[in-house]
Structure 1
Amino acid sequence: MAVDSYIRKRFFPHIWCPGCGHGTVLNALLRAIEALGLSKNEIVMVSGIGCSARISGYVDVHTLHTLHGRALAFATGVKLSRPELTILVPMGDGDALAIGGNHFLHAARRNIDMTAIILNNRIYGMTGGQFSPLSGCGIEATTAPYSTIDHPFDVVELSRAAGASFVARTTTFHVRELEKMLIQAISHRGFSVVEVLSQCPTHFGRRNHEGSAVDMLKKMKQATVPLNSGKLELDCGLIPRGVFVDSDKPEYCELYADLVARKSADDQAERVAADARNEV
């Protein structure tokens, strides 16, 4: 199936600002879906609120555009009711880890089979440039005119500690790497997290003098290295990219189905025993 068959062409051109990295993520996601040969009827994309959440409006699969921070809660309900479906959940850094932080932790803890894609541009874009839990110290934002003093979450370490069974990180500069990681994440049985470092030239770039979108992409290229690179030992300021966790753990829906089957068998056994007692 051609890549453009997965999009809702009537909603284009998109609403993202020129230079925004979210379109690159959408492109890579569509190519990953195509490479996996998934049909549109077996995919459900669930999003919350924010620039990243608009992805669900552009993709011609089953979609839910839900509440801010609650995408994973809605996605959990969909997956439990229809475990055979492939669930994709694109979220921004605030949507996923501020208002949605609690849902994120528990979805990872349960290891429910879905793919969480965190588009990390270190800012709230749609609502006006507020700082997020991933902005980091010394960042200027509309809610931090004298710069932030908050330390950021490390998405990889947070996901690993919470129990996610697949965790990866890349950037919008490394497009082919992003596509491959998304293929791995979607194919993985369990809760998969892909953090994508993305540029927001409109809010983050302007306020923090990062230059154009191209300048921001170049900085991401320079600031990141593959996970197995020896440069990480020489420069602790570099950000590693790659697959950090890829483990085989019991998946929540499968455990739930087993529980229901065991309970049903026990109930049937009790009914048979009761009938036998009544006959006596």
Structure 2
Amino acid sequence: MAVERKFPGIIDKPMSFCPGCGHGVISRIICECLEELGQDQNIIFPIGVGCSSNLGAGLTTDRLHCSHGRAAAVATGMKRVNPDNLVVTYQGDGDAYSIGLAESTNAAYRNENITVITVNNTNFGMTGGQMSWTTMEGQKTTTSQHGRDCSITGAPIRFPEMVAREFDIAYAARGSVSSPANIRKTKKFITEALKAQMNKEGYSIVEVLSPCPVNWGMTPIQAMERLDKEVEPYYPVGVIKARKEAK
């Protein structure tokens, strides 16, 4: 009797994300979306440096670990020479918005036909929990030990809103893993972003809010509560710019 597979076929082995982290859920729903769209054998992942790097170890797909912050630039090259493949970056907020802000912004500015998935856990998760451009006001990190002072550092960046407002991109949304309902919404956002690329509409981005219990100094339950009560009010979940067909 055949055993029904309980997870997407392109996931090869367990990934080594920290307990309570949202990366495992996010990577799974990306793979589910690809499988449901029939694109799981037609995908290339340019993967950022950070916690996101663990994605590559668990997949059977084509992927490339990029220099820190450069995934959007690498994705641009990949898509231009492989226009029939889906190209999806997988990055953290520090990689995409701090170190890679120029590359991320320019890909959106040019409306490159790629899909960007950015996991926002409000810090540089892998390298020690330093402050990133998405760190919340007052949040303590290893480089803001008294809490982020926005009068000195500026306010946390809302990148999807910025590129949706300023550039002619195809799709932008923000999801979260704070509840089953939000996970379902996030999966829908990722599906729509992938469809935008499949339809050659241009640049699409989905930012996904994720807890980081280790660097936040919290239990997984406490971190999820913080995500819901503190992070999501500043980074609202929903569609920011809809695809033409979805309006």
The match for 1:31 is: 32
Q: CA deviation at 1:161?
A: 3.2
CA drift of 1:49 comes to 0.5
TM-score, length-scaled by structure 1: 0.76
Considering only aligned residues, what root-mean-square deviation do their CA atoms show, in Å?
1.9
Deviation track 1:20-69 (CA, whole Å, cap 9, x = no partner) reads 111010111111111111141x1101112100132133221110111100
C-alpha deviation, 1:247, in angstroms: 4.2
Counterpart residue type for residue 171 of structure 1 = S
Give the corresponding residue for 1:193: 205
More off after superposition, 156-165 vs 143-152: 156-165
- Please list every run of 5 or more consecutive structure 2 residues that lacks an aligned counterpart in the other structure: none
* Residue 169 of structure 1: how far off its partner (Å): 0.6
Q: Does 1:169 align with 2:174?
A: yes
SS of the counterpart of 2:17? coil
1:126 correspondence with 2:126 = yes
Aligned pairs for 1:192-271 (under 5 A) are 192-203=204-215, 205-206=216-217, 211-222=218-229, 237=233, 239-248=235-244
Unpaired segments of 5 or more residues in structure 1? 226-236, 249-280
Aligned pairs for 1:50-69 (under 5 A) are 50-69=50-69
Which has a greater percent of helix? 1
CA gap 1:239/1:126 in 2 versus in 1, 3 angstroms = closer
Q: Normalized against structure 2, the TM-score is what?
A: 0.86
How far apart in 2 are the matches of 1:48 and 1:39?
A: 20
Contact 2:31 2:40 in 1 (8 A): no
Of structures 1 and 2, the larger Rg is shown by 1
Please name the residue that 1:275 is paired with.
none
1:102 pairs with 2:102: yes
State the 1:74 CA deviation: 0.8
| 2:153 is aligned with 1:157 | no
Q: Report percent identity of matched pairs.
A: 32
The CA distance in 1 between the partners of 2:83 and 2:204, in whole Å, is 15
Given that 2:136 and 2:231 are in contact with CA atoms closer than 8 Å, whether structure 1 keeps it comes out as: no
CA deviations on 1:81-102 (whole Å, 9 max, x unpaired) are 1111101101100100111000
**Counterpart among 5, 10, 16 of residue 6 in structure 1:** 10
Number of residues paired by the alignment?
A: 228
| Equivalent position of 1:277 in the other structure | none
CA distance in 2, matches of 1:33, 1:247: 18
